[in-house]
Structure formats: structure tokens, C-alpha cells
Structure 1
Amino acid sequence: MFRKVLKVCLLSSALLMMNVTAANAASPSEIKTKAYNYIGTPYAYGGTTSKGFDCSGFIQQVFQDVAIDLPRTTSEQYNEGTSVSKSNLETGDLVFFNTSGKGVSHAGIYIGSNQFIHSSSSNGVSVSSINDPYYWGDKYIGAKRVLEQSQVIEKDEVKSANIDMSIFASRAEVAKSIAGKLNLPLADNKANYSDVKTTSEYYDAINSVTAAGIFSGNEEGKFNPSKPITRAHVAKVLVEAFNLKPAAGTHNFKDVNTTHWASEYVQILAQNGVTIGKPDGTFGINDNVTYTQMDTFINRLK
């Protein structure tokens, strides 16, 4: 059930095109590469295809190429993401200009070194300087970050470690599963993790499990929502979340030494019938928990 519900949620999110919450799946370099693929495409008023773009149509297409959904118009795009100062611009940020004298009217994608790529009415898709003294420099009005950099880095780390997250449950997914099983109330005090956006489908669940003392972030104020969680940590989380107590019986798992920090939690989990270990007699203490295993654990809890 855990995996089925998760898949339905993910499919629904894709069908509803949940703005920039999908942005965590792309990297700044991917955005830049995709944008450069359209160099030379002519400008077309209202254009949204490679036959011709207007400025916002170009931006929308580039982000769609990496499975990120952004609104259609420049003004709508200006309302997305979080504001970022000109001195802190990073590749992938959206930059905005007032070319009409009536507010935001043009936009592009920052690509580093004070340059941005955009679809201009004079040159089509091309590269310009945000500090151009003859035009763009005086018309620059701000920037928005729609790529959540901390999660981009986090997912890159997961990818580089060859972890298949279609198999393993993430910390955010485990948090949501537990919050749902316990029917935890919405937290009055928000945890404000730097890597959990308020628009995330896991935001309320993560705040609820944090308020309940079930989960916590790291010293940098991050929750690491996209990272997998080991069976050892899941044992600790489940024992504490569901207030499981020691019961009769001793379970000897080959890979769980009595000196291991999670030994007691694993024993309690087994004594309560939540786990029976693996066929080879191990618990899989350092293994990442899979969707199937997490589903089984949750279903066995009273």
C-alpha cells in the first residue's frame, strides 16, 4: 500500500503540473545545456515552440525539457521561486527586466559570468550581459531562483552513489508514511529546514514528525528529504514513533552485534513482530530500506 499510494501521489503531481516543486530533479548545468540547444531560434510574439519563442515561452520550454513546469507568462514566472540578489546569482536563476516602463516585461536564464540567455525581439535566442551599459544594465529589476540548490546537490550525491531511488524509500517518504499511520496533527511550530520548501508535498508531514520528536535535521539545518534511510535508522524511528516496548524472545541476527547502537531497536522491532529479518539470517543493518520493506513494517504496526 505504501508504494501504491506513493506512485498515485507522484502521478497526480505530474498530471497537475505542480509548478516548481519538480525543480529539484534538474541541475543548473542541465538547464544551461538545454537553453544553448535553442541558440539562433527566431523570436516570435506569443511563440512557445522551436519555430519561434517569445521570452517567457523560451524559458518555459527550456524548463519543460528537464521536466520542470513553469507558468507561461513573464509576470507569472516572476511570482515563482525565491528572490535572489544580483550579487548571488547562480546558473539557472531567472532574471527579469523592465523594458516597457510598466514593470516586469522581459526575462531570461542566468548562465554565469554576468550573462543570461534569452529570446530577444532583435536577435532571437541569444546571450547578453545583464550589465550591458547600452540596454540591459539599466533595465534589470531582479531575479528568482526556481531551482532548489541544496536539493539539487543532494540528489546529485544520491545519483553519484548509484542509489536507485525508484527502489529505496527517501527520508521524506518515510516521514509521510509515519505521519499518516499515526494521524499526526499539523505542527504549530514549523521546523524551517533549508532544504524543504513550503510547496513540497512532504512539508506538513516533515514538520509533524519533527514536532513529535520522531525525526530531526542535521547541524546545518537540513532534513535531507531525498536521501535514503537505512534499516538501522528505520528501526530506531519506528520504535520511538510507535512507542514499542521490549517483549519476550531474543532474535539473533548475524549482522547485528550487541554493541551496535541500533541493536536494542532491532530487537524490539523483532520482538513486536514488525520484522523477521532476511532469509540469510541477517537484518540488513546498513542496507537502505526499500519501499516493499517499509510497506511491510508499516502494515505490521498496530
Structure 2
Amino acid sequence: MNSTKKTLMGKTLLGKTLLSITLSLSVALTGSLAVPAAKVEAATSSTASSVIATGQKFLGVNYKFGATAGSTSSFDCSSFTQYVFKKNGITLPRSSVSQSKAGKYVSKSNLKAGDLIFSDTNRDGVINHVSIYMGNGKLLHTYRKGLGVTISTFSGSTWDKTYVTARRVI
């Protein structure tokens, strides 16, 4: 009887030990997988904040259709987004149509700060405007001579009513 108790106790202790090791490994592995995801999200929001901060430095800079790429004396919508993103290590094509194919699609309901919003303000089926979504329903962009780089409300605006797509390039 005494040796039976020892064997049962040995099996019980072995079972508890294995269970403890399994749980510890599970927690350790799950925790290590969660950390990089949080770091990626933080890096993304940090990049978005940097892109927006860079763009805000140019508030009021003149609008000029066909502005020279890389110039900061005037911008059109796509030269503005191209310049601001490039300053933050992200290369975009020059035109709004080309930019609308960069990165990955994001639905209007899932917009995050730093996403690019594309509109067809001429209502002719061709994308002709790009803006940077700032979050909280605001856009950072340029579109009109005399106004220059500005912040606009997205909801109910011309850009909302003529919205075509959005892309995440960060």
C-alpha cells in the first residue's frame, strides 16, 4: 500500500509539474507574440503623427496645380502628400491616380490617421484629389489657390461626397 501511494503521488507530482511547465511556456510564448504587435501599432501611429506634423509645418503654403515635385514654395495635392511622406521615409508616386494604387486598401469606416483619401471632385470617374486623414474627421491637404495647405472637415465635405477610395501606406 505504501509503495502504491508513492507511485500515485509520483504520477500526481509529475502531472502537476508537466501542467505547470506547459502553462508557463504557453504564457511565455503568447506574451512574446503580443509584444511585437504592440510595437508595430505604436510605430505606425508614431509615423502617422510624424507625417501629420511634417504636413502641418506647411499650413498656408500656396497651391499651384502641377507644382514641381520636391519644391516647398508651392504644392498641389499630390506633390504635397508625396513630399510629406518622403520626409518620413515613405516613397509615393507623383500623381493622385498613381498614389491611389500604393499601399493597401482601407475602407472608409476603418480610416486611421495617416491614411490617404482619394476623391473625384470633378465627378468624371477619375481620381483628381488626395488628402491625408488626420483622425477625428479632419483632412490635411491643399486644393485651392489663395488658400494653400489647410485642414478641412471630412464628413459631409466635397471630399466625402466625392470619395472614391483610401489607402494605407504607413
Q: CA deviation digits over 1:46-74, x for unaligned, max 9?
A: 11321100000000000111121110111
Letter in 1 for 2:133: Y
CA distance in 2, matches of 1:80, 1:126: 23
* Uncovered stretches (5+) of structure 2, i.e. residues with no partner: 1-42
Report runs of 4+ in structure 1 exceeding 2 Å deviation.
Answer: none
Say which of 119, 135, 139 aligns to 1:97. 119
Of the two, which has the highest radius of gyration?
2
Residue 55 of structure 2, aligned match among 35, 45, 68? 35
8 Å contact kept, 1:46–1:54: yes
1:109-148 aligned at under 5 Å gives the runs 109-122=132-145, 123-133=147-157, 135-147=158-170
Structure 2 match to 1:87: 109
Give the residue type in structure 2 aligned to 1:128. S
Letter in 1 for 2:121: T
How many residue pairs get aligned? The number is 123
1:13 corresponds in structure 2 to: none
Structure 1 residues 1-302: aligned runs within 5 Å: 27-47=47-67, 48=69, 49-102=71-124, 103-122=126-145, 123-133=147-157, 135-147=158-170
List alignment gaps of at least 5 residues for structure 1.
1-22, 148-302
Higher strand fraction (1 or 2): 2
**Cα distance in structure 2, aligned partners of 1:143 and 1:63:** 15
RMSD over aligned Cα, in angstroms?
1.7
User: Helix, strand or coil for the counterpart of 2:80?
Assistant: helix
TM-score, normalised to structure 2, is 0.68
Q: Structure 1 residue 132: deviation in Å?
A: 3.1
- How big is the shift at 1:95? 0.4
Partners of 1:136 and 1:106 in 2: how far apart? 8
Post-superposition offset of 1:87: 1.3
More helix by share: 2
The Cα shift of 1:137 comes to: 2.5
